[in-house]
Amino acid sequence: MAVMLSSCAVAQNLNERPSNLDSTAEKMLVYQRSVGGWPKAVGKVAIDYNRELSTLQRLEIRADSLHDDATIDNKATTRELRYLATAYTNTRNPRYLAAVKKGIAYLFKAQYENGGWPQYFPDHHLYRGQVTYNDNAMVNVLNVLQDLAEGKEGFEALSEEDRKRALVAVDKGISCILKTQVVQDGKSTVWCAQYDQHTLKPAQARAFEPVSLTAMESVAIVEFLMRQKNPSTAIISAVKSAIQWFGKAKITGYDFVFISDPKQVGGKDRVLKADALGVIWARFYDLSTNTPIFMGRESIPKKTVAEIEVERRVGYAWYGKWPVNLIDKKYPKWLKTL
């Protein structure tokens, strides 16, 4: 009789098991590093949570958990934290919440005293230790911690102590943002993609990512600042100054488009094309002259995108319309709340 009851209990558990599991969350648990964060790739293969993992693959990945490749680049770690927080809300699986807590602790530990976050932690070699706005890495972290501080987006499951720590971390992050806004002739502008973690001076990252003002990442920074309730005078000033710079830096009458070109490897190129209604911004601008700058893999600044190799022309976002929605919709709406 006892055996029959045990079998029934096992059968009941098996029937209940699917409702307590999320297949994507389960794979995220496999990839979480012992330090608490997640890598963006294993070897040179980007992590794809839509891909099935064999039992052997799961064991191999878990066995490599001490690898120091945890990062906030390309939405790594913040993506997993958001998904797992939601998965816990939906399933109440305690393993997902435990992974979120460990990941949040990783973000707290990775933050510098000056308020910034490195692209990688604990690996700081080359440019990985720089304070990194590039690809919105630091802002993605700040938005997660802001959600935690406000007790929403699934992060309300964490403790009051975690919320208090998140609020402190966000305040330090805002301080870093305000300190790193570039000033030209006494006037604040926007931000660079990377800064030296010790001096907070603008820094170069990869060979084709020069020391420069960045139009793309500065949009996300401004939107994060506008998210703050009862913004300080310093925050309001930073936002308004950035909006003014966007207005001056815009390029009208052009678009950045792909074209077919059989002479190029891959059969395509990307060029500036005249467009009467076009409004775009360059990805990078010279720190002092505000003129667009471009660099290929040889790391030599060029004045036009046509001067760099085709592989970089087609493989990087040299121009974009990133500030349009901010300027046309979000900023006017924000002004009305002041």
pLDDT tens-place string over residues 237-277 = 999 999 999 999 999 999 999 999 999 988 999 999 999 99
C-alpha–C-alpha distance, residues 180 and 29, integer Å: 35
C-alpha–C-alpha distance, residues 42 and 65, integer Å: 11
- pLDDT over 50 at 10, yes or no: no
Mean pLDDT for all residues in the chain = 94
pLDDT at 52 (0 to 100):
95
From the list 95, 163, 206, 227, the catalytic residue is: 206
> What average pLDDT score do residues 268-293 get?
96
φ, ψ at 194 (rounded to 5°): -140, 155
C-alpha–C-alpha distance, residues 86 and 26, integer Å: 13
Residue 196 corresponds to which tokens in the numbers above?
A: 């030296």
Determine whether 74 is an active site residue.
yes
From the list 20, 58, 74, 290, the catalytic residue is: 74
pLDDT at 82 (0 to 100):
98
- pLDDT over 90 at 152, yes or no: yes
> What average pLDDT score do residues 43-72 get?
95
- pLDDT over 50 at 6, yes or no: no
pLDDT at 27 (0 to 100):
98
- pLDDT over 70 at 70, yes or no: yes
Q: Measuring CA to CA, which residue among 321, 330, 158, 148 is closest to residue 251?
A: 321
> What average pLDDT score do residues 44-52 get?
94
Count, in order, helices (H) and strands (E) of the chain.
12, 14
Q: Measuring CA to CA, which residue among 88, 107, 331 is closest to residue 227?
A: 331
- Record the pTM: 0.92
Contacts of 254 (CB under 8 A, 6+ apart): 272, 273, 274, 275, 278, 280, 319
The interaxial angle of helices 160-180 and 137-150, nearest 10 deg, is 140
- pLDDT over 60 at 199, yes or no: yes
Q: Can you give the length of the chain in residues?
A: 338
pLDDT at 13 (0 to 100):
41
Residue 295 corresponds to which tokens in the numbers above?
A: 């660099």
pLDDT range class, residue 190, cuts 50, 70, 90: very high
C-alpha–C-alpha distance, residues 215 and 203, integer Å: 16
What share of the chain has pLDDT > 90, as a percent?
Answer: 93
Q: What is the largest CA-CA distance in the chain?
A: 86
